[in-house]
Structure 1
């Protein structure tokens, strides 16, 4: 396979990487097809060939971020003991990992996800399946699910800028949530 052919096949990811870099650096106001093309080193037509509009591009970014979240949580779940605590502990481990490198979803991606059911469908299915599995393992129905939604709320509220908890403050919350997860009795 030639280098040019490989680059053409990689263009959707190159474009998404460029858009993500722009969002991180400058926010959603500067995210335009022209700016993404310049960042990616492509023509505007090259970007539009893969993503017909800014909305399509933002939707693809959101879907990629959601898939990375699913993959990250699933990988963390494999390292957890089986039982009702597995999902909450995996969510906490993933949140710690993600927050060490970034602040979660940029708000524009969060909004795009909320406005486009297809962008979040994978996560909805993933979460529904995990919650159903957890329900079968819980001695106190609903306790694990409540904990999962508390963790998701912490993650989303940070992404939206509702709080600026960092370092020791955030770590204390994660420790408290982990203690609650480990205390979940099995059926």
Structure 2
């Protein structure tokens, strides 16, 4: 029984991987249950068993992306000392890593998510959670939100093709954000 459950869980991941590959290669308009089934080497019924519709598939892709964001940020945060800069630096570190690996948020998933209220809900929850976490650590009101939205703006504008910054430009931007985060005063430290 456990073996059958494991195969079904793996099949769900295989389907998500296939859908993500299609999105990266061909965009959101080509994301159909039939295309995902062909990409995954499964029947249409096999895909529908796990994801009852294209919207359900997009929602699952968005949820997986949010979980990867959380895990990446948590991994970076775990390597940093506790300070007001910890979460902003963890977010910057994760964003820098995602850029370096060129596995960021593809524009096609962004577009597909924008058309799906259930998929948006996961990102909204992630954003609200991140803003709460950052506000609890802030020694300078609004600083955490500014870091979060600066990082998101950089990531989203790249995903949508609004800029084509090279590695040196990105390093400078991420370096400037890191320097600003490190300059956050400790709680009870006087502001300069």
TM-score of the two chains, using structure 1 as the length reference: 0.88
Gaps of 5+ in 1: none
CA deviation vs aligned residue, 1:88-137 (integer Å, no higher than 9, x gap): 111111011111222521223223444424332441343133123223xx
Alignment of 1:131-142 (within 5 A): 131-135=134-138, 138=139, 140-142=140-142
TM-superposed CA distance for 1:159, in Å, is: 1.7
Give the aligned partner of residue 122 of structure 2: 119
Give the aligned partner of residue 73 of structure 2: 73
Give the aligned partner of residue 144 of structure 1: 144
TM-superposed CA distance for 1:68, in Å, is: 0.5
TM-superposed CA distance for 1:2, in Å, is: 8.2
Q: Quick check: 2:84–2:186 contact (8 Å CA) kept in 1? A: yes
Distance 1:141 1:129, change over 3 A: closer
Q: Quick check: 1:104–1:159 contact (8 Å CA) kept in 2? A: yes
Q: Quick check: 2:62–2:113 contact (8 Å CA) kept in 1? A: yes
Give the aligned partner of residue 50 of structure 1: 50
CA deviation vs aligned residue, 1:54-99 (integer Å, no higher than 9, x gap): 1111111011111101111111111122122111111111011111
Q: Quick check: 1:84–1:144 contact (8 Å CA) kept in 2? A: no
Q: How many residues align?
A: 184
TM-superposed CA distance for 1:149, in Å, is: 1.9
2: CA distance, partners of 1:25 / 1:130: 35
2: CA distance, partners of 1:34 / 1:41: 10
How large is the Cα RMSD of the aligned pairs?
Answer: 2.0
Q: Quick check: 2:37–2:47 contact (8 Å CA) kept in 1? A: yes
Gaps of 5+ in 2: 188-192
TM-score of the two chains, using structure 2 as the length reference: 0.86
Give the aligned partner of residue 105 of structure 1: 105
Q: Quick check: 2:135–2:145 contact (8 Å CA) kept in 1? A: no
